[in-house]
Structure 1
Amino acid sequence: MLLTATACSESWEHYSTDPGMRLSFSSDTLKLDTVLTNIPTSTRLLKVYNRQEEALLISSIDLAGNSGFRINVDGQKGYHFSNVEIAARDSLHIFVEATLASTGQPTPTLVKDSILFMLNGNRQEVKLTAYAQDAYTLRAHRIETDTIIQTTRPLLIYDSLSVAPNARLTLGPGTQLYFHSKAVMHIHGQLTVNGTLQQPVVFRGDRTDKLFSYLPYDRLPGQWGGIVIHPTSFNNSLDHAEIRGAETGIRCDSSSLQAPKLNITNSRITQASTDALSLNHCLAQVTNSELSNAGRHCLSLQGGQYTFVHCTVANFFSWNSRQGTSLYAAHTDEATAPCEATFVNCLITGSNTTEAYLPEMNQQQAACQFQNTLLKAPADLILTPTDYPPTLIQQDAFTAIDTQAQYYNFVPTDGSPAIDAANAQAAQPYPLDRNGHSRLTDAAPDAGCYEAPQEEAS
């Protein structure tokens, strides 16, 4: 045993000096995508391989520039490393992260660096790239007067962003709000979102990196707290809003039914860890919008009066086990707070056998009316009382349901029961679907907020 150990030691001390030797890398360019400046990124891994039959001694490993990148070589932090050993047919790990400085530019700026390797007189290089994005940072910020925000630079929000009673916050096209973990938007006054199809207003978490190479953090639920519309708030309107990755997308607290609480058009609320849209004893309308993928309910209604037209309510939540359905509707425990909801030209579907839960309260179910609306449920499901029952479907077909990459595209494809299932007269006020495609030029409109491509629907 002693002789064997000595032989191994002597073999390790012999390094090839052949100038033809080369290192191999897991990637020749390590990309960090878009990075918010002055915030540390997550760590990325670069593997360095010795595919030779002899040990190698790397003369130096250097971070070439002073760009904000940092490296860690087999557990040691630094910018310069000398005489790094790598055994035959072995590898070493280099961990890369960055904190990029502000650029002073309104749009992302490309930042480059590289890791240089010297082996037997030869230099090899692995490139490092990232796009640095400056952001306006707000910490526990409260808006006290009418304010208009429109900027190409994101707002980075810590703790909370609040709109005081009697104040209105208007967000212009292309505005992006990045919320740090647990950060919440509180609306006591009024919120107006004026996005467009080409420039939606985005509400999302502040993680711009990836959990895995195929999975951006931006597609994950529970990245931030969500939007809370408080009892004092009325006449909120959201047009072309994109709300994703929250704990609860929007929660409307109980208030008077004498004034509209919320009007949502052409928008999407998706990947919520609890409810995507929670409406509690208020007056609200949602049109031409997608409510999708929630750990509990995509749409939760408790008391109040609601109208939904050309909405896709689809729960294929797969990040972990979900506890609800696409649609939950119920009276409140108070006899004076019934729930009344009308669904017109909507698609309510998901991965469960039944995607509606209407529990009895006060000996009756919520008063839901379904006009030209499809509901994923067994053929023998009975929903009472309703003068307009839904059309029950047992399957559907969409463009993409990718649970690994958490990518979902709810445009119906050939074989979907939503195709041509909507009422043409009810669709007249909404001639374009959420993607801007006409729903009035083929045989009949499709149920939901998306129109199938006409060549597929024919």
Structure 2
Amino acid sequence: MRQYFILFIFGLLTTFSSCRTDFDTVASSGNLKFSKDTVYLDTVFKNIGSGTYQLKVYNTSKDDISIPTIQLKNGLNSKYRMTVDGMSGNNGKIFNKVTLLAKDSLYIFIETTADITDADPTDFLYTDQIQFDSGANLQEVALVTLIQDAVFLYPKQNADGTKEKITIDNKPVDGFYLDENDPVNGNELLFTNQKPYVIYGFAGVPENKTVSFQAGARVFFHANSGLYVDNKASLQINGAVSATGKLENEVIFEGDRLESLYDNIPGQWNSVILANGSINHSINHLTLKNAITGLSIKSPDNTTIQIKNTQIYNCAEYGILAQNANINGENIVINYAGLAGLSCVYGGNYVFTHSTFNNNWQNTSRFAVSLSNTLAGMSPVSNDLVQATFNNCIIYGSSTNEFNLNKSTNAAFVYQLNNCLLKFNSSTTNPDYQFKTDALHYNQIILNENPKFYNVSQNKFNIDNTSAAFAKGNQSYNIPQDIIGKTRTSPPDLGAYQSAVFAK
């Protein structure tokens, strides 16, 4: 009997202690502290959910308190939604009698999904407040979100419920062909600068058609999405020099996650694919970032692809992957790529002038530039590299060696570097890497000297007059203006940027 009595008493004590907080709480007195007074939810597209943002609420008093209400000012009509310490409340909008222990804190997580019509028409901001308590004890934290209107392009739903697909590399993928007479969007083959575009799946350019991008066009790709230019189709990107750092005339391709957390996350979308047999491509003033592979060029016809004034950053695999292509590149900048910034495989014909190929990806088994005349799975396995010429270029990065040659003797392998700054620290007897004595392949090479880029982590590859690349270019290869339209001097600097003086 004594044993049962002890258990009974223990049960009472346990019940009392578990409820004690409820008995001991006092009403909130309006003295809560917050981790921020305004929560800025990054830009979202209309009717597309935002990321999740955090607010921390502190009780700095010595008392356990009960907050009568935590709610959105617009109540159940708010386009925001919350969880409070894991609780969903009334539709994520209203929470009653929230306990917060002494010297403790709670987390509020906030999201939104709003239409452009919900925003203020003068600034496109959608706002609300989180209200804590009421009356004399009322405290508020502001919520602010910029809503962007956009043109949404995506695969249609088939009658059987499946998504529309297109074929890439003999495989069906979620995708659709752009229609120049679409009943909703009009001419989908012309991307203007009037509204941003959001693409789901692969947007295909049909045979014998040309897709054009006006200066200032903005294109956002959802996960696993991309642009596919089919056989006999063409890509024309017509960006222009911008007058400000906002890149108002640049054509920009990036992922559709607009939160600042995703600014430099590789692999958010797939690629721009120029298919076998596609023709007459021209790319000017394009900034492309955060793809798996930026430009995937798959053995197009023999027309020369013009790539000028183009920046490619943070690609999970390749910045440019060219397969037996014919490319003339000027003022190109590539940085951060998991395998190679520029990879030319299975031969081809390439000339790159005044370009900066840097790779600061944090592993050693990758390169800024890699050249090969072979490709596994192809028949024959090797193909002529007619030429790979680099003039007034910088090939650099954080690894020991940033230049790689993969040569088969079964096909031609012609390459030449003229007036280039190159990082290659290994001492080797391999005849392909004799930078100082092999005049057939290397002329005026600056080896392993620091170009002193302004800020690599921010993809700013400007140099000043202390750089090893300053005034080391050959005038005969000179491109009159650099990537931002600045006039080059004589002799020109190496790389895509003409030097400037920076404030320290």
Same fold (TM over 0.5): yes
Cα shift at 1:388: 3.9
Partner residue, 2:43 = 34
Q: 1:379 to 1:415 in 2, by over 3 A?
A: farther
Partner residue, 1:234 = 279
1:356 has 2:399 as partner: no
Cα shift at 1:206: 0.5
1:127 has 2:142 as partner: yes
Contact 1:174 1:201 survives alignment (8 Å): yes
How far apart, in 2, do the equivalents of 1:455 and 1:115 lie? 44
Of all paired residues, the percent bearing the same amino acid is 30
Partner residue, 1:434 = 483
3-state DSSP class of the match of 1:412?
A: coil
Cα shift at 1:424: 2.5
1:151 has 2:165 as partner: no
How far apart, in 1, do the equivalents of 2:353 and 2:373 lie? 21
Cα shift at 1:422: 1.1
Q: 1:208 to 1:306 in 2, by over 3 A?
A: same
Contact 1:329 1:339 survives alignment (8 Å): no
Q: 1:328 aligns with which of 366, 370, 374?
A: 370
Partner residue, 1:86 = 100
Cα shift at 1:401: 3.1
The alignment's TM-score, normalised by the length of structure 1, stands at 0.89
How far apart, in 2, do the equivalents of 1:167 and 1:266 lie? 24
Partner residue, 2:5 = none
How far apart, in 2, do the equivalents of 1:114 and 1:294 lie? 42
Mean Cα displacement is larger for which, 306-315 or 337-346?
337-346
Residues 216-236 of structure 1: per-residue CA shift (max 9 Å, x gap)? 313111010011101121110
How far apart, in 2, do the equivalents of 1:277 and 1:132 lie? 33
Cα shift at 1:397: 1.5
1:100 has 2:114 as partner: yes
3-state DSSP class of the match of 2:270?
A: strand
AA aligned to 2:440 is D
How far apart, in 2, do the equivalents of 1:155 and 1:22 lie? 45
How far apart, in 1, do the equivalents of 2:266 and 2:122 lie? 26
Cα shift at 1:336: 4.6
Partner residue, 2:225 = 183
1:204 has 2:254 as partner: yes
How far apart, in 2, do the equivalents of 1:166 and 1:348 lie? 37
1:400 has 2:400 as partner: no
Q: 2:432 aligns with which of 383, 399, 424?
A: 383
Q: 1:62 aligns with which of 50, 68, 71?
A: 71
Q: 1:247 to 1:83 in 2, by over 3 A?
A: same
Mean Cα displacement is larger for which, 26-35 or 135-144?
135-144
Residues 89-144 of structure 1: per-residue CA shift (max 9 Å, x gap)? 00111110011113399997111111000178410000000100111111133135
User: What's the Cα RMSD here?
Assistant: 2.6
Q: 1:417 to 1:438 in 2, by over 3 A?
A: same
Q: 1:22 to 1:119 in 2, by over 3 A?
A: farther
1:449 has 2:496 as partner: yes
AA aligned to 1:431 is P
How far apart, in 2, do the equivalents of 1:279 and 1:324 lie? 16
Number of equivalences: 439
3-state DSSP class of the match of 1:432?
A: coil
Contact 1:332 1:338 survives alignment (8 Å): no
Partner residue, 1:73 = 84
1:344 has 2:391 as partner: yes
Cα shift at 1:350: 0.6
AA aligned to 1:316 is N
Partner residue, 1:316 = 360
Contact 2:400 2:426 survives alignment (8 Å): no
Q: 1:8 to 1:76 in 2, by over 3 A?
A: closer
AA aligned to 2:116 is S
1:166 has 2:208 as partner: yes
Q: 1:410 to 1:4 in 2, by over 3 A?
A: farther
Unaligned regions of 5+ residues in structure 2, if any? 1-8, 155-174, 181-186, 243-248
Q: 1:131 to 1:14 in 2, by over 3 A?
A: same
3-state DSSP class of the match of 1:13?
A: helix
How far apart, in 1, do the equivalents of 2:136 and 2:301 lie? 78
Q: 1:142 aligns with which of 170, 177, 180?
A: 177
3-state DSSP class of the match of 1:81?
A: strand
3-state DSSP class of the match of 1:58?
A: strand
Partner residue, 1:219 = 264
AA aligned to 1:300 is S
Contact 1:107 1:134 survives alignment (8 Å): no
Contact 2:236 2:282 survives alignment (8 Å): yes
Q: 1:455 to 1:124 in 2, by over 3 A?
A: closer
Q: 2:472 aligns with which of 421, 427, 435?
A: 421
How far apart, in 2, do the equivalents of 1:55 and 1:277 lie? 59
Contact 1:47 1:91 survives alignment (8 Å): yes
3-state DSSP class of the match of 1:398?
A: coil
- By percentage of residues, which structure has more strand? 1
3-state DSSP class of the match of 1:308?
A: strand
Contact 1:358 1:365 survives alignment (8 Å): no
Mean Cα displacement is larger for which, 183-192 or 117-126?
117-126
Cα shift at 1:154: 1.1
Unaligned regions of 5+ residues in structure 1, if any? 211-215
3-state DSSP class of the match of 1:411?
A: coil
AA aligned to 1:116 is Q
Q: 1:113 aligns with which of 105, 117, 128?
A: 128
How far apart, in 1, do the equivalents of 2:73 and 2:485 lie? 47
AA aligned to 2:421 is L
Cα shift at 1:148: 2.5
AA aligned to 1:117 is F
AA aligned to 2:98 is V
Q: 1:431 to 1:86 in 2, by over 3 A?
A: same
Contact 2:401 2:426 survives alignment (8 Å): no
Contact 1:180 1:223 survives alignment (8 Å): yes
How far apart, in 2, do the equivalents of 1:305 and 1:132 lie? 45
Partner residue, 1:289 = 332
3-state DSSP class of the match of 2:115?
A: coil
3-state DSSP class of the match of 2:477?
A: helix
3-state DSSP class of the match of 2:263?
A: helix
How far apart, in 2, do the equivalents of 1:164 and 1:8 lie? 68
Q: 1:452 to 1:4 in 2, by over 3 A?
A: farther
Residues 271-322 of structure 1: per-residue CA shift (max 9 Å, x gap)? 110010011112111101112210000000120010101000000124xx46
